[in-house]
Structures are given as C-alpha cells and as structure tokens.
Amino acid sequence: MSDTLNQKVKDLLPAMIRCRRDLHKYAESGWTEFRTASLVAARLKELGYSLTTGAAAVKKESMMGAPAPNVLKAHQERAVSQGADPALVAGMEGGLTGLWADLPCGGPGPRFALRFDMDANDAVETDAPGHVPNKGGFASINKGVMHACAHDGHVAIGLAVAELLAELKDSLKGSIRLIFQPAEEGVRGAAPMVDAGCVREVDFILGVHMGVKADKKGLLICGARKFLATSKWDVRIQGKSSHAGSDPHMGRNALLAACAAALNLHAISRHGEGPTRITVGKLEAGQGRNVIPPNAFMALETRGATTELNDYMTSEAARIIKAAAEMWGCTYAVSTVGGTKSGESSEAMVDEICSLARAMPAFSDVRGIEDFTGSEDFAHMMTEVQRQGGLGTYIQVGTILKAGHHNDHFDFDEDDLAPAAELLVRVVRHYLGGKK
C-alpha cells in the first residue's frame, strides 16, 4: 500500500498545485475567508464528509479581532463575485468562516483530528517579475492581502488528505475530523472553534506547517515546544476635551493616561521563571494641538514562554491600564483581539511520527521536538486535547523558501506539498489501525 499511497499522492500533486494557486490568487485575510471556506466546504461534502459550519463551528462570542459588520458584508460580496457559492457564503455571515468535517471509519476507535489554517496576511505582494506567482499569473488580486505564510498550501494539503482518507476509511477504525480554521494570523481563530467544540472527544490532533527557519528540503521537525502564549489587546481611553489655553483644568487628559500606561506597562517586572514580553506597538491620542486630548488608543501585546507567564503579564497589564486611566480621571475599555496559550507536543506522538517519517525517502533529516519561540494558536487546540487526555503535535515541513514568512517575496516549493500530504495520511492510518 505504501507504494500505492506514494503514487496516489504524486498523481494528486497537480491538483494540489492548482488548488494552492487558486487560493493564492484570491487571498483572504482573517475572518473574511468566505471564498476559501466555501470551496473547502463544497469539496468536503462532495467527498462524503459531514460538515459543521457557521455558528455551530465558531462561537460568535469568542471571536477576536473581527472586522466591522459592513466590512464583512463587503467581503461576502467580494467572495461571491470571485466565484464562491452564494448560499454557502450566506451561512458564514458575520465572519463565521471556520468549519470542520467528520468522517466515520470502518469501526469503533479513536477520533483523529487534523487542523489546517486558511487565512492570508496583510501584505502587498511584490510586483517583482521573478516572483513565481507573478510569472505564473496567480499573484493575489486582492490588494493588500497575500498568502505569505503558506496557508494556501495548507488548505491544498488538507483537501488532498481529505480525498485520500475518504478512500481509506473502510480499512480504518475510529473517525476522522478535518478542521479548517480561519484567522490564525493574530492568533484569533482557534479559541472560538475550541469553544464551539471542534476538539471535543478528539483523541489525537495534528497540525502542519510548510517552511522552517532552517531553510532545507527534506527536513521534518515532528514536534514543537515553547509556543509563546500571547494576548493581543486594543485599549481605548476616554477623557474630556477642553481648551488648552483658557480651561486646561476642565479636561481629562487621555493622552497622559495612555503615556503613563505605556511607560509603566513596559516597566512590569521581569519574571523569575522565564521569558516574557510586552509591547505597546501603537499609540494614537488627541485631536488638536490646543485641545486637552479626550481620546487615546493603544494596540498592545503580551507574551510568555508558558501560559502562566503570559497570564502574569496580562494580570499586571490589566491593573496598570485601569490605574492609568483612573489616574487621569478617564474611563477605558480593553478588547481582546487575539491570543493563544502556550503548548508542547506530546512526546509519545512525536516519536511515532518520527518513525513513520524516517521510512519515507522524501525526508532526509527527521527531528524530534524543537523550540518554536513564536506564537501559533494551534497550541490552543493541542493543549485542550491534552487536557482531555489525548495527544497532539505540530509538524513543520522543510522546503526552500524564497523569502521569510510574512515577507512580500515569500514563496515555497510546491513539490513539497506531496510528502507533507503523504505523511499526514500515513500518520492517521497508523493511529486508526490501518495496515503499516
């Protein structure tokens, strides 16, 4: 069967590439993946999966950093104009673009989940003529949105895997769940899907990413630790304006409140037990030169090497923001626009995957758990599965990158989609008791 599988994947590669290029051309940012999610949903239904979508798949109250309703509305129209099924798009109104697809196998057994992220980045794709999407005519036509983190590839892998597993299902025991997640950028999409139940009763979960810092074909990293827990906050402070010359004492200076907050936030004590971060990345305050500023806005983020360390940072930050606003007689509001927990791959699962991968000629350098030191909200799903008693890991597939992730020249080697898809199928087959 191995050889059969390898051949089947090879046969699917052209379709995977077509899919990836189509998604690349119609790149969609977080919570606006109406076209992408519609295509995914339609295909999975075709393959026999039963779908969970819309409000059942994304808990509306838990959504973070969603665009304004009118912006979402405009994106729905855009998606339809770019070929999406109007009925499917209508079912995702309000940015409910996440979905999962279930497939029961040939008998009782564990539930194995695979997660694929769908959103593109806020970036203007380069117009350099040598950039492959330009040469191939599939550069993003949605100005300012670009797949610069390979999520287009992830979805293409996901749909190929869906097809291959559908063929195999009768030989397996248990069930398969494919999770297509929106808004991974800004770590906003995992939590509302978890809250909606996407990993409930899941025994194993696997996430995959194309491209590693060590830019190398044949490299596979089978597990990750030190995902940074992080929180993304928008802070708004409301004061009162007054004339700076005649009545300065009548104002409530929101600008000074924000400045006091920013300075003191950065002075939050380092933590004795591990790395933390805090950054007020943006601050905008005031209306006119001669008006006591009645308004201020701050975009900030905290991070921690563990969930506990990030919790320390957010708890300190919340106290400081409150006090800074009150110090200047202002009111304030904090909205969480993103965030994820820390996490660490399950060692047992990493070891199994390493063995499976080493048997594949495509992977010449197979490694175990390595430090991630970035944030990925897959950690949120994985941690929840582990909390329930299950196992999970996150694998990174080496490929030659034209430029780093999030760069406007980013591109990866499409041939590497095939071994990634093959490995995922092998792993599922292994865990659901299929032949070795």
Contact pick of 50, 329, 359, 388 for a second copy (by CB under 8 A): 329
Q: Name the segment binding a second copy (CB under 8 A); options: 68-76, 109-117, 320-328, 356-364.
A: 320-328
- Least distance in Å: CB of 290 to a second copy? 6
Site string for a second copy, 151-190 (x = CB under 8 A): ----------------------------------------
Contact pick of 323, 333, 348, 400 for a second copy (by CB under 8 A): 323
**Between 57 and 265, CB nearer to a second copy:** 265
Residues 6+ apart with CB under 8 A from 253: 239, 292, 293, 328, 330
In whole angstroms, what is the distance from residue 141 CA to residue 27 CA? Answer: 8
- Count of residues in contact with a second copy, rule CB under 8 A: 62
- Least distance in Å: CB of 398 to a second copy? 20
DSSP secondary structure of 225-258:
EEEPEEEEEEEEEE-B--BTTT-GGG-B-HHHHH
**Between 51 and 305, CB nearer to a second copy:** 305
Rg for the chain (alpha carbons), in Å? 23
In whole angstroms, what is the distance from residue 407 CA to residue 150 CA? Answer: 11
- Least distance in Å: CB of 185 to a second copy? 11
In whole angstroms, what is the distance from residue 232 CA to residue 65 CA? Answer: 9
Residues 6+ apart with CB under 8 A from 138: 21, 22, 24, 25
Q: What part of residues 251-280 is at the interface with a second copy (CB under 8 A)?
A: 251, 253, 255-256, 258-260, 262-264, 266-267, 269-273, 275-277, 279-280
Query: What tokens does 104 get?
Result: 């029961």
Contact pick of 228, 237, 350, 382 for a second copy (by CB under 8 A): 228
Contact pick of 138, 312, 410, 431 for a second copy (by CB under 8 A): 312
> Residue length, the chain?
436
In whole angstroms, what is the distance from residue 284 CA to residue 293 CA? Answer: 10
Confirm or reject binding of residue 319 to a second copy (CB under 8 A).
Answer: yes
C-alpha to C-alpha distances, 121 to 115, 209, 302, 308, nearest whole angstrom: 18, 15, 21, 29
**Between 268 and 360, CB nearer to a second copy:** 268
Q: 120, 140 in Cβ contact below 8 A?
A: yes
- Least distance in Å: CB of 251 to a second copy? 7
C-alpha to C-alpha distances, 185 to 129, 259, 396, 418, nearest whole angstrom: 27, 28, 17, 24
In whole angstroms, what is the distance from residue 234 CA to residue 146 CA? Answer: 24
- Least distance in Å: CB of 286 to a second copy? 4
Q: Which residues bind a second copy (CB under 8 A)?
A: 228, 230, 232, 244-251, 253, 255-256, 258-260, 262-264, 266-267, 269-273, 275-277, 279-293, 299-301, 303, 312, 319-320, 322-324, 326-329, 373-375
